[in-house]
Chains A and B, each alone.
Chain A
Amino acid sequence: MNDIIFLIINGITVASIYGLIAVAVSITWSALGLLNLSYGFIFSFAGYGAWLAERHLYGEPIFVMFMGIAAGIIGGVMVCLLVFIPVHDKPNFTIRGMIGTLAISLIGGQVLLQNFGPKAKLLPEFFGYGKIKILDVTLTADKIGIICSSIIMLAIVVRWMKSSRRGLEIRAMMMNPHAASIVGIGVRKTGIYVMAVTGAMTGLSAVLLSQTYYLSPFSGLTPMIKGVSIALMGGLGSVRGAVIAAIILGFNEALTTKFLGGRYVLMTQFALIIIVLIIRPRGIAGILDKAREA
């Protein structure tokens, strides 16, 4: 029983990191109509930003974390300026935007490889090495830290989107981009906000994941694909759906590892996603709220 709880906590830890990317993918898709497949690059970019800050500026964990988030914001805005703003009003925007973000991740990955080499880098442990024991289950500090910081990040973003003027603009864009632009919401300006916020989320997930695993020029690909799968299962465009899907997939990962073995995690995960999508083609959010039509 204990190891199941241990695995579930593991699964939730990983799911909270991937969930951040999933929410980022979801928000970008629903607000901008942009399928951003360059989150892998933004992830690595933010990780290297944090690593550089730790090496050359100041090694305090909280500072490194914020530098990672800042690098994520820069990466997101960069993608927005290079792809979204030039292409968003042109024909075939969705496919051109997607290919543009792929091109950025191709170029960016190679540039990172040129500058930092293929060797993996490690970020420091942000949350120390403490342990807490609750009901025979040992919780390490980094797991608690990861779960808490991603929940805080998500809460801030959701709160900001619910209560601020900019958040209102973004939500208006999610509902109906045409109507939003008619009532005077600037598509380009909103695009920059959205990409900055989602970049910050990706940056946080990068620093959180890179301290437990490692950082390399292409280490963002797997988190991005996982994030995209979660977003897909949750329903593109829905934050609630993405959170629910992240939790379900986290449980699935834990249970599959326990009963079938780690090799079958992806298989059961995709079986689950396909089943959900065959029942609800718009993901879990198809039940909750209306997802954006392509």
Chain B
Amino acid sequence: MSDIKTKKRKTWKNPLAVWGAKGGNYEVATPEWKNPHQIWKDTKAFKVPTNKVGRFHYEYKSSNHGEKIWNRLRWWPTRRTILWTKGVYNRKSLKPEKIRKDKRPIFWFFSLLFLAIVPFILPDGYKNSLLTAGGIFGIYASINLCWTLVIGTAGIFSLATYAIVGLSAFLTTWLSINLGLPWWMLPMIGMIVGLAFGIIIALPALRLDGFYYGLLTLGLNELCRVFITTSHAFGAASGGLYGADTFINENWAPMTQTLVQYYSGFALLIAALFLFRFVDGKRLGRILKLAPEKKEAFAEASGVNYKRARVTVFLISSIALGFIGGFYAAYYRGSAFDIFSFHTVIMGLAMITIGGIGRADGAVAGTLIIVIIDRVLVELGPYRYIIIGFLMMFIILFLKNGLFGIRKQFRDWRDKKKGEARSSRLERGGEMLPEQATETDNKDEIYRRRYDKMQREFLKTLICDEVIEEHKQKPLGQHSEALERICYYFRRGAMNDKYVVKCEVPFKKYKIMALSGVRGRSPRLVEDKIYETVEAAYHGLFLRRIQDLMEA
């Protein structure tokens, strides 16, 4: 409807004129004939940027056996299913299908299976060093899982994790040397040490929040370091305290010792994972998920005693860290002062940030990466710390929450880009957006609206001065093709807000009204203008409809 003036004009002759149709238009000007199929062809035509409609194109759906979609295996004796599976009927083919709603257990299973069998598939040349690194990985991953419980689940930004482990390791070693405790007692004693130290440092955690507490615990770490290294009881001169009882018999073959080390570290990792699962995923974790930082007031108003839950999680993980400290002492026959150093804290933070803070998979994967760089690539010398530093810089500069946050970050970014692209090509005209289209169940409605939109687009091209003039001359009766198409469309419209002519005084006063479309609800008056004749009222109504069409 852009340029009416340049439109080619044509003359339309009324076919009824031969028989002398009374009062009709015999010959009127009309626009050039346009093919009404063209817009359908244009809409259907292949245009290069095709935009996908809907979500989860690539989600794998496994086929179902049989007709039932709800039959599934459970962990005996609980009601817990082995994998979180949802049964759906395919909307197109109506076949039953299964969707795995949570695929993480599959990845965990295969990763842990790999770790369990890795000693048997390693080449002999690297076996010893890699398995030693594997044992260290197990211990550090368990420490970091407990730390993740403190930082992520409890939301207490504590940097004294390694201090608890170190303190427990030193005290248990000292007790083992002086009282001759057997190795299996050390983790038990360590738990008591961890609990005691946990209670002491949990006190300020109740009052301080966030980074104030982090800085305080950084200082406490330094305090432990200075206290232990200057104390005579803990062997100030030798760089550490050694001589605790151990579960690794020195008379065994070296490979057996390494294997025992590796598998004990692995067992510790499994135990820490279970602890994480049962704290983070159960009641305490659920409570704390309601009370994230800065939303505490809401949680409190909902009746959640989040402080108690936080301290409980903190104490549980302190006990676990004490256990790990005792295990550490029994594992290495003692401990070095290094465990209290600032360097260890940085390394630990690197481990949990590279994977992503607050996630079990992040803690384990980050530990794996750092242990590989730190303990396996030893030939690199000090450069490995520079590599770790650059890795940390890369992660904090470009990732919102570590490697395991990439998925969410990528999806957010993709949705943002999709939204931008959508708004750039937004010419709706009543057509459904892809989002609406996937949400609506009546798919006919999508096509009805699409067809309606195409038809209106086409009719807009027909409207010009000639057509309006023709209608003004003769609102009823035989019309040219262009006007006829327009009138048919208007007459076929839905009942709500459909314009009608109201006769106030026959042959004198007519007004235009709009129907409500609802039975029992009266029509409303749309304008006060009074038309003298019914023909003028018809034309006024036609003009209103044309205006609505052009504006929509």
Contact = CB atoms under 8 A, between A and B. Distances in A.
Interface of A: 35, 37, 40, 82-83, 86-87, 90-92, 94-100, 102-107, 110-111, 113-114, 221-222, 225, 228-229, 231-232, 236, 263, 266-267, 270, 273-274, 277-278, 281-283, 294
Interface string B462-501: 0000000000000000000000000000000000000000
A282 B343 CA distance: 28
A184 B215 CA distance: 32
Q: 4 tightest CB-CB pairs across the interface, nearest first?
A: A107-B389, A103-B392, A106-B389, A294-B210
A111 to B, nearest CB: 7
Interface in B186-244: 203-204, 207-212, 214-216, 218-220, 222-223, 226-227, 230-231
A294 B211 contact: yes
Contacts of B204: 274, 277-278
Interface of B: 157, 203-204, 207-212, 214-216, 218-220, 222-223, 226-227, 230-231, 342-343, 346, 349-350, 353, 357, 382-383, 385-386, 388-390, 392-393, 396-397, 400-401
Contacts of A106: 343, 346, 350, 385-386, 388-389, 392
Given A110-B386, A277-B207, A277-B212, A100 B397 contact: yes
A294 B386 CA distance: 30
A229 B392 contact: no
Secondary structure at the B interface, as helix, strand, loop or mixed, is: helix
B216 A277 contact: yes
A105 B392 CA distance: 11
17 contacts: A35-B215, A40-B342, A82-B393, A91-B400, A99-B353, A102-B346, A102-B350, A103-B350, A106-B350, A106-B385, A110-B382, A231-B215, A232-B215, A263-B227, A263-B230, A263-B231, A278-B204
B208 A281 contact: yes
A90 B349 CA distance: 20
B396 A103 contact: yes
A267 B346 contact: no
Contact of B223 (A107, A267, A283): A267
A14 to B, nearest CB: 15
Contact of B392 (A100, A113, A231, A282): A100
Contact of A98 (B203, B208, B211, B400): B211
A82 B393 CA distance: 9
Contacts of A274: 203-204, 216
Contacts of B207: 277-278, 281
Contacts of B385: 106-107, 110
B216 A266 contact: no
Given A103-B390, A274-B204, 19 more contacts: A87-B397, A90-B400, A95-B357, A99-B349, A99-B396, A100-B397, A102-B349, A106-B389, A110-B389, A225-B222, A225-B342, A228-B219, A229-B219, A232-B216, A236-B215, A267-B227, A270-B220, A277-B207, A281-B207
